[in-house]
Structure 1
Amino acid sequence: MQPTLFPGAIAVALFPLLANAQSTAPPVDGCAPMDIGPAYDASLSTGATLGCFQFVTPATPAASKVDVNLAGFRAGELHDVSLVRVDSDGSTRAAATDASMDAYRILQAISDASTRWLLLVGRPKGGEASPFQMQVTLATGADRHEPNDAFTTMTKLEGNQRIEGNLDNAGDVDNFLITFRPDQNTANLELEAPPGVVGIVVDGAKKTGELRGGSAFRVDSSRPVFVQIKGDASTVGARYTIALRDPGATAVVTMVRSKENISHLAPGLGSTVPGGANVARVADVEAQVFEGDRATPVGAGYVVKFEGYDVGTNGHWLLTELTAVTDERGIARTTLNVGPCKGGAIGPITVPTRGNPPDFWDIEYNPSAAVIAWVDASDISDATRPLRFEHICKETFRMHRPWKP
């Protein structure tokens, strides 16, 4: 394909790209038409400094990702390539550009249906003929991080998080660059993906690793971490998740509560005031998980282990254990079936209600039971200060009679 050249004939406005094309703009004079799909041999003619090509996206019901691949530029020669959208009013807006001496280029943009696009190929001065190859392809189902196939358009993110994406075509490559807190020197990276999807990782220490679905990698996060996700013809439409987690994260138990039909009058440890955190058999518990700085809440996906204990002067007794997963705010919630008391009980003590005249309850309980929590993949020694509760072993209602028969 031999393009028509027109040095300086088009002025391109560099504005933020807006998805507002309502109808197809008319053809642009001086730009050679091309189809989406075929690969073309093209050339800047001897002495020419600019070539222009144009294509129109099909009338699809949803937005599509436009991929422009150019190859074959001579090494050491500067070429400036740009992908420009033409709106229905004739105005032009640059979506992507690459000015370099690379032999291979990728330009990408998200396009509405029936939109006219220009592909501009230029060089700073004329010379002998400059041949190259070019191809435009279209993909639907692009994720919110697109376009990010090229290093120049890689998605830049900050902090520990879950990154969700998909490979919208056989040649789709998703590139990410993630930076972390200055005091976080390591991070756990996990890939959830179907067979055929591969993750290439280059960490802050320039160590390279390869991830596949279900595998994990401990990375140096003292400098930005590069992650590339790619597949093949068998992975078109494949969805994946990259989970980035702080190995120094800690869980803090923030709530132990029971909705059981009990008196809720047993006082806390070292107190005579009725109404501590009474639990008989079932407790609703909650923990907040923070990153290693003990201040930044984590996101979703951290596994938290809870354990409940009876604690006494002569030991402690495990009541139950369970795991839960943090939500988007870094909070893990679950219900612990603590069951009957196993040790450390005192009483029964007689406790009055707040009525006038009061009623009375005889309560046998463990005043120093506790719930602890820590982040899975760490050690139980990383559990922070336990949250105490009153484990009710037995209650007897005596109405308004404080004495025992």
Structure 2
Amino acid sequence: MTRRQLNKLLGSALCMTAMIFAQAHAKNHNSARNESLNLTDRFVMTGAPVRAFTLPMKQHTQASLRHSSHAASRKTVAGPPTSTDDVPAPLDGCQEIDVGNTYGAPTAPTGTLRCFQFITEPSNKITVYVADLPAGEQHDVHLFEVANDGTWNPLDSVLGIDSFKVTQAIRAKPTGILLLIDAQQAVGGATFQFQATTTSKFDGWEANDSLTRATHLTGNIYLRAYLDNANDFDYYSIAPPATQSSTSLTFTGSSRQVIERQGEDGTWISLANNRKYQIRVPAGDTIHIRVYSPLGDALPEDQYWIKTSDPLNRAGIDQYSSNENLSGLAPGLPRVAREIDVGVTVWDEAGNVPQGAGEHVTIEVYDSDGRKGTPTLLAQTDGLTNAQGSFAAKLDIGPCRGPGIEGPHRFNTYSVPAEYWDITYVPKAFVVAYTDNNRRIEWPGIVFFTHVCDERYRGYRP
């Protein structure tokens, strides 16, 4: 990796240090180490292994960092994996640490940094927590992957004066990881804490354990995810469609999970489980939310769902028919006797954009006289739309009931000789569909059909 590449990636005093140290390690790897390079001038060590703390670290909520009690949610790696062909040798001048342990170490003074290294197993999400950095000082935190040839590949960086930082990466193979804590503006000597964790069980939205690494989503969304360990935070930044002045937000999860939305003043506001909120979002703005377990007792099998939608969306019936064997003589279309197939698509308020997956749709079928009398409910069903914003169902409406029944009336075919049928029917039966957001009954959410009650064949006699 060249100096120019590193400068572009980091933009800090770490750049020169990383290049020199990587070059030194590459030479050492080829048994041609340049002894004139004094790494301790750049990597400040404690003179002894860093101290493992028994007290927990701090977490996003300023509560204590919890060690997971679920073995499946985190793997602790005390050394390299069985196969060492895929991982580099330890780097000189960089303290080795164990995944899962919490450590304390003194901060470095300005212009120097602390270096720690560890090995991960395949298909791991790596999360490093750094806490208790001195107020008003800037300690930038960087993660690097070290290749066998000594090349350093940057994975993540968190800059600034925050006293608590989270860095993350996902790697598909065993690899060596460097944690560098770079003192940009610091006195040095203050004790900070840090912990590296890994997990092999995580959802497809990771890594998103901090606001700077939030999963960015555009439009109205419906997602399913879970917290992969006791310390997991899931952050999302959602940009609703610009055509919406407000957005409906619903969270459905277990009692061990909490969802919060970031307010305009930067504070986090708790939202109730399984309740719909309408949030005003000016065009171009973003909704920031996070999910976590306050008590650290959430299990990976505790899935949760987040749904956003247009509060004024509407359902449109785009398919209604029956495959029953009828004479086809009763007036009106379509003709339905005992069951009807209905297809619905949910659109935005303007009727231009399908709303995607997860919209709850209700379909109801009625007999009516077409006037202001009370219609009779024949069948009802509900469900969630698919990724295309559609929902389809077959409803058993049964025999005719209630108002609007006509006949029997006699109808005949146009064949020669003609055949005759006596038919009883409801000419003003109808289907309605609506969403939870919008229960208005209007076109295209209402369509009429002919409900055939009875057909009796009369043969060739008029």
Does the pair score TM above 0.5?
Answer: yes
- Aligned equivalent of 1:241: 305
- Quick check: 1:323 aligned with 2:381? yes
**What is the deviation of 1:129?**
4.6
- Aligned equivalent of 2:391: 332
- Aligned equivalent of 2:192: 132
**What is the deviation of 1:371?**
1.3
- Aligned equivalent of 2:130: 70
- Aligned equivalent of 2:346: 289
- Aligned equivalent of 2:73: none
- Aligned equivalent of 2:21: 10
**What is the deviation of 1:235?**
0.9
**What is the deviation of 1:347?**
5.6
Residues 385 and 322 of structure 1: CA distance in aligned 2, closer, same or farther (over 3 Å): closer
1:367 corresponds to which of 427, 437, 453: 427
- Aligned equivalent of 1:261: 325
Other structure's SS at 2:205 match: coil
The letter of the residue matching 2:225 is G
**What is the deviation of 1:136?**
0.9
Other structure's SS at 2:297 match: helix
- Aligned equivalent of 1:52: 115
Indicate if the aligned counterparts of 1:31 and 1:53 stay in contact, CA closer than 8 A. yes
For residues 155-213 of structure 1, what are the alpha-carbon distances to aligned partners after superposition, in whole Å with 9 as ceiling and x for unaligned? 11122221211111111111111111223122222222111211112357979642343
For residues 274-285 of structure 1, the aligned pairs below 5 Å read 276-285=333-342
Q: Which moved more, 1:192-201 or 1:236-245?
A: 236-245
Structure 1: distance between partners of 2:279 and 2:377: 37
Indicate if the aligned counterparts of 1:319 and 1:339 stay in contact, CA closer than 8 A. no
Residues 267 and 187 of structure 1: CA distance in aligned 2, closer, same or farther (over 3 Å): same
**What is the deviation of 1:84?**
0.8
Indicate if the aligned counterparts of 2:412 and 2:418 stay in contact, CA closer than 8 A. no
Unaligned ranges ≥5, structure 1: 1-5, 13-20, 269-275
The letter of the residue matching 1:256 is Y
1:298 corresponds to which of 335, 355, 358: 355
- Aligned equivalent of 2:52: none
Indicate if the aligned counterparts of 1:266 and 1:351 stay in contact, CA closer than 8 A. no
Residues 389 and 136 of structure 1: CA distance in aligned 2, closer, same or farther (over 3 Å): same
- Aligned equivalent of 1:43: 106
Indicate if the aligned counterparts of 1:46 and 1:128 stay in contact, CA closer than 8 A. yes
- Quick check: 1:122 aligned with 2:179? no
Residues 50 and 203 of structure 1: CA distance in aligned 2, closer, same or farther (over 3 Å): closer
1:150 corresponds to which of 210, 226, 244: 210
Indicate if the aligned counterparts of 1:264 and 1:277 stay in contact, CA closer than 8 A. no
Indicate if the aligned counterparts of 2:224 and 2:303 stay in contact, CA closer than 8 A. yes
For residues 222-260 of structure 1, what are the alpha-carbon distances to aligned partners after superposition, in whole Å with 9 as ceiling and x for unaligned? 332121111033113232111223221101111221122
* TM-score, reference length from structure 2: 0.73
Which has more strand, going by share of residues?
1
Structure 1: distance between partners of 2:299 and 2:398: 50
Structure 2: distance between partners of 1:99 and 1:152: 10
Indicate if the aligned counterparts of 1:193 and 1:212 stay in contact, CA closer than 8 A. no
Residues 392 and 192 of structure 1: CA distance in aligned 2, closer, same or farther (over 3 Å): same
**What is the deviation of 1:96?**
0.7
* TM-score, reference length from structure 1: 0.83
The letter of the residue matching 1:261 is N
- Aligned equivalent of 1:227: 289
**What is the deviation of 1:125?**
7.0
For residues 84-127 of structure 1, what are the alpha-carbon distances to aligned partners after superposition, in whole Å with 9 as ceiling and x for unaligned? 11234443221110121111111111133531101122234786
Unaligned ranges ≥5, structure 2: 1-15, 24-83
For residues 14-55 of structure 1, what are the alpha-carbon distances to aligned partners after superposition, in whole Å with 9 as ceiling and x for unaligned? xxxxxxx97112222332211112222223555652332210
Residues 351 and 90 of structure 1: CA distance in aligned 2, closer, same or farther (over 3 Å): farther
Indicate if the aligned counterparts of 1:66 and 1:137 stay in contact, CA closer than 8 A. yes
**What is the deviation of 1:304?**
1.9
How many percent identity over aligned positions? 30
- Quick check: 1:310 aligned with 2:404? no
Which has more helix, going by share of residues?
2
Other structure's SS at 1:25 match: coil
For residues 281-335 of structure 1, what are the alpha-carbon distances to aligned partners after superposition, in whole Å with 9 as ceiling and x for unaligned? 2211121111223111122332222222334365453242413212222222223
- Aligned equivalent of 1:273: none
Residues 360 and 207 of structure 1: CA distance in aligned 2, closer, same or farther (over 3 Å): farther
Structure 2: distance between partners of 1:367 and 1:340: 14
Q: Number of aligned pairs?
A: 378
Residues 365 and 104 of structure 1: CA distance in aligned 2, closer, same or farther (over 3 Å): same
Other structure's SS at 1:10 match: helix
- Aligned equivalent of 2:413: 352
The letter of the residue matching 2:290 is Q
- Aligned equivalent of 1:28: 91
- Aligned equivalent of 1:392: 452
Indicate if the aligned counterparts of 1:51 and 1:121 stay in contact, CA closer than 8 A. yes
**What is the deviation of 1:383?**
6.1
Structure 2: distance between partners of 1:131 and 1:292: 56
For residues 345-387 of structure 1, what are the alpha-carbon distances to aligned partners after superposition, in whole Å with 9 as ceiling and x for unaligned? 256142316x676644343333332212111353344564522
Other structure's SS at 1:37 match: coil
Structure 2: distance between partners of 1:141 and 1:259: 47
The letter of the residue matching 1:241 is W
For the aligned residue pairs, the C-alpha RMSD in angstroms reads 2.9
